[in-house]
Structure 1
Amino acid sequence: MKLLSVAIPCYNSEAYMEHCIRSLLTGGDEVEILIVDDGSARDRTPEIADEYERRYPGICRAIHQENGGHGEAVNAGLRNATGVFFKVVDSDDWVNEEAYQKVLETLRRFVYRGESLDMLVTNFVYEKEGVRRKKVMKYHTAFPKNCVFSWKDVKFFMIGQYILMHSVIYRTQLLRECGLELPKHTFYVDNIFVYQPLPHVKNMYYLDVNFYRYFIGRNDQSVNESVMIGRIDQQLRVTRLMLGYYDATKIPNQKLRHYMIQYLEIMMTVCSVLAIKSGTPENLEKKKELWNTLKKQNFPLWLRLRWGFLGQGCNLPGKGGRELLILGYKITQKFYGFN
C-alpha cells in the first residue's frame, strides 16, 4: 500500500508531461504515480508513459484508455489508486520539491499514528507565463494552521479564495465512499472533484506551503477566456450537476453550508459572465434558462443566489448591473486563473 497516489491525466501531453512526472518522482517509493494516457493519438504520450513505468517499476504506472476527457482520466486514476491519499496533478503543472517533502511528512504522520485525515489543503502558485511576480493562493484567513480542525473551526474565506483541485488532497476511500465519478468528455469537472466530497469531510489539515504549481499561458488551455466561452455548454453542465448533488440550503453545518452556497454562486456567476461576454442571443437564453430552472427546482437556493451580491450583477440591467458584473468577472478570473 502506498502513502499517496497521484493521478496525471495526459492527453497529447508530450511537450510537458515529463516535467510534471519528474517533479513527483522526488517523493520516492511511498508515492504511486498513475500516468493516465487518455487516448492520446498525435504524439508520444503513450510511449512516454510506458517508458516511465519501465524505468520506475513500483512507482510509475501507465494506464491507457480510450479518450474520455479529463474527468474520465481522473476516474481511472481513482479506480487504480492504492494509496491512502489521492491527488490529481495536471500534466502541464508540477509540484515544488521542498513543499512536497513536507506534504509527505504530514501524511505519513497521520498514517503511522493510525489517525484519520479526510482532506489536506496546501497553497498553490499561479505560474502564469510572462509574469515575474507569481500569485500565491493561500488559506491562512480561512483555516487554522498545522492542526486538525473541522468545519466549525473554519474562519473567513476572502473573495476569490476557494478550495480548488490544485490545493486539495483527499483520503482515497472517502472519494470512493461518496460515490465520486466525474462525467466523461466534459471540461471544468475539477469543480465537481472538490465540491461533491465536501459534506463527507469531517476533519482537515492546512499545511501552509506552496506545493502545487499551476501553469497558465497556453492558448488552448481550458481556462483561457475565449476557450471557456466556446465551451459554455460544458460549464453549464457542470454547474447543473453541482446544483443537483445536494440541497445546499439544508447542509447542517452552518459554515459548510455558507461555503457551498458561495461556491455555487461563483459557478452561476461564471456561466452568466461567459454568456453575457459571448454576446450571442443563444447563450443569453441559456443563461436565462439556467436561472429559471434553478428557480423551479430549488426556490430557497435561487433566492440566495439570485439576490446575492454576484447574482444581482448577473441579472440586473443598466450601469449598476454591469459594474457588479465586472466585479463578478474579476472574481471568476481569480477563481479560475484565466486570462
Structure 2
Amino acid sequence: MKPLLTVIIPVHNVEKYLCQCIESVLVQTLSNIEVVAVDDGSTDDSGKILNMYALKDTRLKVIHMENLGVAEARNEGMKHIRGEYVTFVDSDDWIDTDMYEEMLKIAKKQDIDIVMCGYIREFENHSKIKNMGLEDGLIMYKEEINKYFIRQMVGPIKGEPYITENLDRHSVVWNKIYKTEIVKNVEFCSLKEIGSCEDLLFNLTAFSKANSIAYINKSFYHYRKVLKSSVSNAYRPNLLEKRMNLIEKIRKVIDTNISQETYYEALNNRICLGIMGMGLNIVSSGNGIGIFARLRQVNELLSNEDIVKAFQQFDTTSLDIHWKLFYYFAKARNGICYLLMLRAIKFMIKFSP
C-alpha cells in the first residue's frame, strides 16, 4: 500500500538522542507512513541504530551516504518519497504520537497544500512553547500567503518588531507537512554555500507554489535547543561571504515571484538585523584569534558594501535604547564599541533562562 506520508530524517552523529527520535516517529497513531532516514556519514553508532530499527519495522528505509551535510542528506531523502505528503524531522528532536494524524486530518479534509503546527523548545532544564503569532485553525490562500508568510520570511518592515529570534520562526521545515507535488522539485541549498537558513530558501519556494496553508495551534514538535545552540555557537569561517550569498538568493526569489517594494524593504532589514549573528560569530570562543584580529574582522563586516547600503535605510525609531545604540555603532562603523556590545550580548545570552 502506498504510504500517505513520507518522513525524512537526516542523521549525523546523534546516537545519544536517535532512539527517542525514531521511536517517536514509528509509534505515530497514523500508521500509514514511510520513514526515510539518511545517515550522513556518521562516525558514531547512529548508522547501526538505524539498521537495528529497520530490521524491526519495514516502514523504515535507511540510506547510508558520505558526510555531505544536512541539506544534501535531505535532498537524498527526497529522491525516495512515495507518500502523498512529505515532512521532515531533525534526528535529535522528537514528536508527539498524534502529530501526523492531526495534521493530515486538516490537510485531507480541506485539501490544504501545507499544514503547520506549533513547537516546543526543549532546553536542558526547562521547556518553552514558541509563540508562532497565528490563530488556531487559520487558513490562508494565495495572495494572503504572499502578503503574510512569504513577506515575513524575507524580513520585518517598518511598524513590525525587529526581533531577531522571530526572524525565521515560520521558515523551519520540521513543523510542517507538504503535499509532495508542491515540493518534489524543490531542493535544499548547501550550507557550504549559504552558511545557514537552508529551510528558509526551501520554504520561500514551497510557499510561493502553494495555493493554501493551514495552522493548527498545537505544539506537537519538540526542538532540542541545547544541542542546536552548541552547534550554532561554533565559529563559522567565511560566514559573511555565505550570508551575502543567502541574501542574493532571497533577492532572486523576490525578483522572480513577487517584485514588490515592501519585500525589498524587508530584505534590507534582514541584512541589518543579521549583523548581530555575524558579529557573535566573530566573538565566539571557537574563533581562536586575538582581539586586534577580531577587530579587523568586525571592521571588514561593517564596511561590507551591501551592509553599508542597507543601514542607510534602516529605521531604528521603534527599538529599545540598547538596540538603538548597538545598530548605531554598526551603522557608524565604530568597530570598538560594536565589539564591546557584542561581548555584552554574548554574556546575556549565556545566562538568559
TM-score normalised by structure 1 residue count: 0.74
Q: From the superposition, tell whether residues 16 and 318 of structure 1 become closer, same or farther in structure 2 (CA, over 3 Å).
A: closer
The AA in structure 2 aligned to 1:267 is G
The AA in structure 2 aligned to 1:209 is K
Does residue 240 of the first structure (1) align with residue 244 of the second (2)? yes
- Report the Cα distance in structure 2 between the residues aligned to 1:46 and 1:144, rounded to whole angstroms: 40
- Report the Cα distance in structure 1 between the residues aligned to 2:263 and 2:175, rounded to whole angstroms: 17
- Report the Cα distance in structure 1 between the residues aligned to 2:209 and 2:295, rounded to whole angstroms: 36
- Report the Cα distance in structure 2 between the residues aligned to 1:238 and 1:205, rounded to whole angstroms: 32
- Report the Cα distance in structure 2 between the residues aligned to 1:206 and 1:105, rounded to whole angstroms: 12
8 Å contact from structure 1 (residues 4, 83) kept in 2: yes
Please give the per-residue CA displacement for 1:247-287, whole angstroms capped at 9, x wherever unaligned: 27764467766665555544343113332566744455445
Does residue 48 of the first structure (1) align with residue 49 of the second (2)? yes
Q: From the superposition, tell whether residues 16 and 276 of structure 1 become closer, same or farther in structure 2 (CA, over 3 Å).
A: closer
Task: Give the counterpart of 2:119 among 124, 128, 131.
Answer: 124
Q: From the superposition, tell whether residues 47 and 263 of structure 1 become closer, same or farther in structure 2 (CA, over 3 Å).
A: same
How much does 1:329 deviate? 6.8
Q: From the superposition, tell whether residues 168 and 99 of structure 1 become closer, same or farther in structure 2 (CA, over 3 Å).
A: closer
- Report the Cα distance in structure 1 between the residues aligned to 2:342 and 2:212, rounded to whole angstroms: 36
- Report the Cα distance in structure 2 between the residues aligned to 1:87 and 1:17, rounded to whole angstroms: 17
Deviates more, 1:63-72 or 1:189-198: 189-198
SS in 2 for 1:102: helix
SS in 1 for 2:136: coil
SS in 1 for 2:86: strand
Partner residue in 2 for 1:15: 16
Aligned positions of 1:121-270 closer than 5 A: 121-131=116-126, 134-140=127-133, 143-149=134-140, 150-151=144-145, 152=147, 159=163, 160-161=165-166, 162-165=169-172, 166-177=174-185, 179-183=186-190, 188=196, 189-195=198-204, 197-218=206-227, 221-223=230-232, 225=233, 227=234, 230-233=235-238, 235-247=239-251, 251-252=258-259, 263-270=270-277
How much does 1:172 deviate? 3.3
TM-score normalised by structure 2 residue count: 0.72
8 Å contact from structure 2 (residues 116, 175) kept in 1: yes
8 Å contact from structure 1 (residues 167, 212) kept in 2: yes
- Report the Cα distance in structure 1 between the residues aligned to 2:300 and 2:115, rounded to whole angstroms: 37
Identical residues among aligned pairs (%): 20
- Report the Cα distance in structure 1 between the residues aligned to 2:210 and 2:226, rounded to whole angstroms: 33
- Report the Cα distance in structure 1 between the residues aligned to 2:55 and 2:312, rounded to whole angstroms: 56
Partner residue in 1 for 2:62: 62
The AA in structure 1 aligned to 2:121 is Y
Aligned residue-pair number: 316
Please give the per-residue CA displacement for 1:147-174, whole angstroms capped at 9, x wherever unaligned: 3213346699753322242434343333
Deviates more, 1:87-96 or 1:100-109: 100-109
- Report the Cα distance in structure 1 between the residues aligned to 2:208 and 2:272, rounded to whole angstroms: 17
Task: Give the counterpart of 2:40 among 35, 38, 41.
Answer: 38
- Mark the structure with the bigger radius of gyration: 2
Please give the per-residue CA displacement for 1:200-230, whole angstroms capped at 9, x wherever unaligned: 444321110101101133498313x3x2xx2
8 Å contact from structure 1 (residues 314, 324) kept in 2: no
Partner residue in 2 for 1:76: 76
Q: From the superposition, tell whether residues 292 and 314 of structure 1 become closer, same or farther in structure 2 (CA, over 3 Å).
A: closer
Q: From the superposition, tell whether residues 128 and 30 of structure 1 become closer, same or farther in structure 2 (CA, over 3 Å).
A: same
Does residue 87 of the first structure (1) align with residue 87 of the second (2)? yes
Partner residue in 1 for 2:306: 295
Unmatched tracts of structure 2, length 5 or more:
153-158
Unmatched tracts of structure 1, length 5 or more:
none
